[in-house]
Structure 1
Amino acid sequence: MLKFLLTLSLGVFCVSPLQASELTPVTKSCLPGDKQRHCERWVKDFKTAMDLAYKGDHGAQVTVAFCLSTGCHGAVAIDKVASCSWHLVIANSGAATVLDSSNTRNTCRPMTPAEKDEARALASDLVQKIYKRPLVKTDQM
């Protein structure tokens, strides 16, 4: 039993970049109350943005990166690594603005070196899937 638990716990930390990139961001269940409709709208908008982001839509990619960084009013689970990855995708899109560069710096720079490596691996996979080319490294991290 101990060997099984040890193997299971090691498997959690040893996710390859390809497997990690296939994980989809998690939307949350909106809590009942005054803000439930607002949260439900963000969940719907985030799911739509995810679909469009994978098709190369710049605005949708910005929305996805923003929601993964802030949680979009409790509608999306915060994932700083995934947010940084999407910012790197935006930087590689050919449509990045000065604001996008600032967002990349603000999101990615505070991360640990291991988190940055994971974000680069995820972004590399995303750029390959979306734009059919390799990730161009940026100094904004």
Structure 2
Amino acid sequence: MLMFYASTISERRNGPQAMLAACMSRAREENAAVAEPPRPPQAKSFHPSCGYFERLYGMDDSAEGETMQLLLAGLFACGCVSLVDAVPWPVAESYINPLVDCSQSANPGACRHTRDTWKTEYGDAIDGKYQAQRNVAFCLSTGCDKAIQPDKMLGCAWRIVIAKSGHAELDDTDATNLKLFCGPDYIAQADRRAAETQAISMVMMIGK
């Protein structure tokens, strides 16, 4: 399964905490160079600015959320902007399960429908459309009748993107799905942390 990755191996292994260290190091290097004049305030966007972390983690009251608040403080202090080097979205076909024919599925019709509509759904999801993101997240978490290669970590990453996206359509089922598909009964803690890091790249690339 193709995925998105943070810009360095250490960032991939250690998650957001490593990003803070990398960010501060980059800030020191930039400060040692020629100082730039102050820039006017920028409108909020999906670029990986420090404000993105606030949007992603600012509402989390858990112990992990407190860690993210500390991370935020460091990110704002260092004045970093670019934390992740984006790579192109994987093609839709790379998610199709190559090991299973839909005739082998418990629900062949649903399997075929998912595969027939997957390219459109996936394209709409990366364009930022709410329902398509929900559908893609569900299929990555569950496999959708064996039509798609399950990837629980990536499915969780999509749930994080959805939860923090600001969609007007968000409802209680999104919070329920986030708790379920990113919860300890469904994925390991390490996968949850990887999903959080993954979501950074994904949000940056939405609409690109």
Q: Is TM > 0.5 for Structure 1 vs Structure 2? A: yes
Q: Which has the higher contact order (CA 8 A, sep 6+)?
A: 2
**Structure 2 CA distance, aligned partners of 1:22 and 1:87?**
17
| Unaligned runs of at least 5 residues, structure 2 | 1-8, 13-84
Tell me if structure 2 keeps the 8 A contact 1:46–1:63: no
**Structure 2 CA distance, aligned partners of 1:79 and 1:16?**
21
User: Which residue does 2:29 correspond to in 1?
Assistant: none
Equivalent AA in structure 2 for residue 112 of structure 1? A
2:196 to 91, 98, 120: 120
Tell me if structure 1 keeps the 8 A contact 2:114–2:147: yes
Q: How many residues align?
A: 119
User: Which residue does 2:140 correspond to in 1?
Assistant: 68
User: Which residue does 1:32 correspond to in 2?
Assistant: 103
Dislocated runs of 4+, deviation >3 Å? 14-25, 31-38
**Structure 2 CA distance, aligned partners of 1:94 and 1:19?**
22
**Structure 1 CA distance, aligned partners of 2:203 and 2:86?**
15
**Structure 2 CA distance, aligned partners of 1:19 and 1:114?**
22
Structure 1 residue 74: deviation in Å? 1.1
Change (3 A) 1:101 1:113: same
Change (3 A) 1:36 1:99: closer
1:97 counterpart = 2:171: yes
Equivalent AA in structure 2 for residue 44 of structure 1? D
Query: How high is the sequence identity, in percent, across the aligned residues?
Result: 30
2:183 to 102, 109, 129: 109
TM-score by length of structure 1 reads: 0.71
Structure 1 residue 113: deviation in Å? 2.3
> Root-mean-square deviation (CA), in Å?
2.8
| SS, match of residue 32 in structure 1 | helix
Structure 1 residue 33: deviation in Å? 6.4
User: Which residue does 1:54 correspond to in 2?
Assistant: 126
| Unaligned runs of at least 5 residues, structure 1 | 1-13, 133-141
